[in-house]
Amino acid sequence: MATRLYGSKPAAGAAPLVLHLHGGAFVDGDLASGECLAQMLAGAGAVVLSLAYPLAPAHPFPQAVEAAYAAMEWLYKQRNKLAGNGAALYVAGDEAGGNLAAAIALMARDRGHPPLAGQILVAPMLDPCTGTASLREAVGQDTCCKWTDGWKQYLRSPRDAEHPYAVPARAQRLAGLAPALVLAGEDDPMRDEAMAYAQRLHNAGISVATAMIPASGWPESLGDASQASFCVQTVQGHLRAFLHAPTPPPAADTP
């Protein structure tokens, strides 16, 4: 799998280390389309590894999420080399990548490794029903859209829609997950599902920070840095506050 590294190891201390996963409704997107958010993360002071994960329909669930989890395990082993001794590890994603990021947080908790300092979900694609008010506002009277098509090609069968690693919003147990930053746009089709998941995390006792970005054009504008340029400073502010929180969870290895 192709990767791209943003940011650099500081001369002293450690920088937050982030695995970034691009959008594209599970069937599209690449390192170039993921550059916008990756650069925002790097601009907030992180070292970022962006991953071109395997796409559906050739690679349906769970191939993308297992590949991303393996990349996270590798990144954890390389954390001192890439970002400095004791670098805290995060996962971040936008749109379909936000789904994968949320799934990796669940997997890391369930498998007991690697220790995550946080999950960053930007306009995350979490609801295969594609029936929220915010999505209906975006697509109007259309009965199908690229996100519906993406879900159909990503999930092998209706039973996959009940698997928490495929649809984290359907997970029955959210306790014990890494702290979360959930960002959505006021005009974002994924707005409602993002905020609903943030509320569920909060109800489960997870530390959650949320923000609504005015007229973001998300998730489409996240694939084009020129379209998203107006909100870069705002988004970077939220990212910086989350990544450099005073007392992030330790990144110590497990026995």
Q: pLDDT of 73-114, one tens digit each?
A: 999 999 999 999 999 999 999 999 999 999 999 999 999 999
pLDDT band at 1; cut points 50, 70, 90: confident
Tokens in use for 241?
A: 């506050």
Q: How many whole angstroms separate alpha carbon 115 and alpha carbon 111?
A: 10
Amino acid identity of residue 120, one-letter, is I
- In degrees and rounded to multiples of 5, residue 165 shows phi and psi of -80, -20
DSSP 95-149: THHHHHHHHHHHHHHHHT-SPPSEEEEES----TT---HHHHHHHTT-S--HHHH
Three-state secondary structure of 148-213: HHHHHHHCCCHHHHHCCCCCHHHCCCCCCCCCEEEEEECCCCCHHHHHHHHHHHHHCCCCEEEEEE
The pLDDT tens digits for 128-174 are 987 788 887 766 655 558 999 999 999 999 999 999 999 999 999 99
Question: Could you say which DSSP state residue 28 is in?
Answer: S
User: What is the reported pLDDT for 254?
Assistant: 37
Q: Is the pLDDT of residue 224 over 90?
A: no
C-alpha 251/C-alpha 70 separation (Å) is 17
33-48 b/e (C-beta count within 10 Å ≥ 16 → b)? bbbbbbbbbbbbebbb
Is 176's pLDDT higher than 50?
yes
pLDDT per residue over 12-66, tens digit each?
999 999 999 999 999 999 999 999 999 999 999 999 999 999 999 999 999 999 9
Of residues 243, 235, 254, 249, the one with CA closest to residue 37? 235
Greater confidence, 250 or 155? Answer: 155
Q: Given pLDDT bands bounded at 50, 70 and 90, which one contains residue 226?
A: low
d(CA 65, CA 7): 24
pLDDT at residue number 230: 66
Confidence of residue 247 (pLDDT cuts 50, 70, 90): low
Q: How many residues does the chain have?
A: 255
Domain 3-8+20-243 is found in CATH 3.40.50.1820: yes
User: What's the confidence (pLDDT) of residue 189?
Assistant: 93
